[in-house]
Structure 1
């Protein structure tokens, strides 16, 4: 068997449920590209480690504590890179960009591509370590990476304004597997039963971890306003993602304050996002900052109508197939949800979601994304097909 034309080592903070992690998984398992992928998680294997390994991708987890760098872990990473001898190293997110980029350079690899998944907006709400790492990355952006891949045009512009080298920035929109993210009536029936909700109940939802930038408070205030004014049409709201559980005291206090306990279903994280999407009539992105929000395109691919705040590339993703409202304005979001639910009720769920799926199929093709990444890796490494 001939050796693959290109060997790429990926370094990512972790492999749990998240947008960057899902993009890496889709990229590393995309067939027919003649690329050997090796994945290194700075922390643990999360939900994607086993899946990657099952697809034939080598996975290494360094067991570093999240947000902290251990000297032993850094040495292990450097040694692994030197031993693997990749043609290119692709890092994902700020901490991995910094740690992985430096380790790769010390291991003798110069073909390094960073991966920015943050919009660059509202960084004051991010952790202190994330802000410090971003500043360090900006200073090193002209010397460590040969390319810096952003998923969104807005993210590239904002990071250039924050000091990243403009001539290294490349925009590659995310791509999606339309065979996996697709309308699925059986999954819809199954998850509705799991939530204890009948088919005739309007269900809105949000797939996002508990994080200030996701602004769940904005969504819940919008729902509370709809209920208060009798504009809710009997809706229920399902929250899906890390810390969307009864154990989240801050979330629980907010639900109690807004008197929404009987309106909100806390699903917690799920490793079957397509099924979760199919259970919804409407997906709502309530964030105050985003880069290229995967969940919006994933919902659209499943034929789910979307309401989004105008952050990152969210408005670009939905185009004219959904509703766009200003961020951090609960009443505007409430009106958007009300309008969207009315549209879904009038046209029917399937008809209302058709245009969104067609837009994802036309603009966010997985093959195009994979080919674009490979073109970057070939350019920075000098390895030709």
Structure 2
């Protein structure tokens, strides 16, 4: 049999698939973000299933207490002057000592580090390298030179990896379109801890009290950093249109942002005449108690991979309206509303429609959908199966 690029990995590996894996997950840091929270949750669930998973990061951060509370092994790599590439020798030493079977690198800078470090290890002891695809716009050009350089190097290095794991079909298709010689890839949707993200009348009342919003008011919630890619401007404009006549409707945005960004959004809310109903409340390390305070979730992103916030909100019984990017439409699956990226009018119409649809039955259906399709246990099992496939012999 002749090997195609997609079979290359399976032919190369000729040992029996291990029932218990030794995995290093390589992250950029422990700041609050979708990739970081997903990696931590996935590592914990895989350990419960009998695998050994170590977290290795380039920087410490706010999520360290979460890692420690879960009993995960954590190693923060030393760097010189904060430069990522200077962590490569320390990563090589760590991999040589810990002897993982797989290194799972979650973002592009970490891809490059993992591939470089593994290339320095003797072939007989070299772990497999798995790259995580966490977005869906690999054909886009970043305005930042550094980001463009990293992405270009990452694309050129991809062929040296053993497997791609994308958290959305859109992400995998996007990457294959720009890197035709990429290795075999699989789609593993992110997983949600449905025992943690669940409805809570107590949390609902608590946060509404903190925000000084009446218990009977409608809250449209948004969770995500105050970054232009999240398109808060569209959110504010659509909210102003959809909720113009309802003074009991409030918008709560949970997420960190630099002072200039916050000031700009506050000025826009003032200009739209909705400042008294818009609440920019800052970021929270644990959002599981916040979602139940919402009546619906809005996601206006220009690009996404698998937006955890949508599935987390739905797991809490909060239906969502999203822009059609990444896996967003697949997550809501007809239970919410979907609008084209960048369209204020379409998003406002969808927001109005979803408000009219909100009811106890829709809330329950939203949670049931996530429990059935996007549980953390399912994500851990799918990830383990994908990693174990690297050690199976191609017998065809």
Q: What's the TM-score, normalizing by structure 2?
A: 0.87
> Is residue 43–residue 66 contact of structure 1 (8 Å, CA) maintained in 2?
no
Partners in 1 of 2:213 and 2:230 — Cα distance?
A: 25
Question: Counterpart of 2:54 in 1: which secondary structure?
Answer: strand
Equivalent position to 1:222, from 238, 241, 251? 238
1:166/1:281 CA distance change after superposition, 3 Å: same
> Is residue 159–residue 182 contact of structure 2 (8 Å, CA) maintained in 1?
no
- Quote the offset at 1:231 in angstroms: 3.9
In the TM superposition, 1:1-385 aligns within 5 A as 5-30=20-45, 31-44=47-60, 46-62=61-77, 64=79, 68-71=83-86, 73-108=87-122, 109-120=126-137, 123-125=140-142, 127-143=144-160, 145-163=161-179, 165-227=181-243, 230-232=244-246, 234-243=248-257, 248-344=262-358, 347=359, 350-381=360-391
> Is residue 88–residue 116 contact of structure 2 (8 Å, CA) maintained in 1?
no
> Is residue 188–residue 279 contact of structure 1 (8 Å, CA) maintained in 2?
yes
Partners in 1 of 2:340 and 2:269 — Cα distance?
A: 23
- Quote the offset at 1:177 in angstroms: 1.2
- Quote the offset at 1:359 in angstroms: 1.0
1:121/1:115 CA distance change after superposition, 3 Å: closer
Query: What is the alpha-carbon root mean square deviation over aligned residues?
Result: 2.4
Greater relative contact order, per chain length (Cα 8 Å cut-off, separation 6+): 2
Q: Gaps (5+ residues) in structure 1?
A: none
Partners in 1 of 2:143 and 2:136 — Cα distance?
A: 12
Partners in 2 of 1:93 and 1:67 — Cα distance?
A: 17
Partners in 2 of 1:191 and 1:96 — Cα distance?
A: 37
1:334/1:64 CA distance change after superposition, 3 Å: farther
Partners in 1 of 2:67 and 2:141 — Cα distance?
A: 34
> Is residue 55–residue 74 contact of structure 2 (8 Å, CA) maintained in 1?
yes
Deviations 1:75-124 (CA, angstroms, capped at 9, x unpaired): 21221121211111011111111222222332343401011111126733
Question: Counterpart of 1:124 in 2: which secondary structure?
Answer: coil
1:338/1:225 CA distance change after superposition, 3 Å: same
- Quote the offset at 1:252 in angstroms: 3.2
1:362/1:181 CA distance change after superposition, 3 Å: same
> Is residue 4–residue 36 contact of structure 1 (8 Å, CA) maintained in 2?
no
> Is residue 40–residue 60 contact of structure 1 (8 Å, CA) maintained in 2?
yes
1:154/1:65 CA distance change after superposition, 3 Å: farther
Partners in 1 of 2:362 and 2:140 — Cα distance?
A: 35
- Quote the offset at 1:170 in angstroms: 1.3
> Is residue 100–residue 127 contact of structure 2 (8 Å, CA) maintained in 1?
no
> Is residue 122–residue 289 contact of structure 1 (8 Å, CA) maintained in 2?
no
> Is residue 198–residue 317 contact of structure 2 (8 Å, CA) maintained in 1?
yes
> Is residue 93–residue 118 contact of structure 1 (8 Å, CA) maintained in 2?
no
1:382/1:175 CA distance change after superposition, 3 Å: same
1:146/1:89 CA distance change after superposition, 3 Å: same
Q: Gaps (5+ residues) in structure 2?
A: 1-17
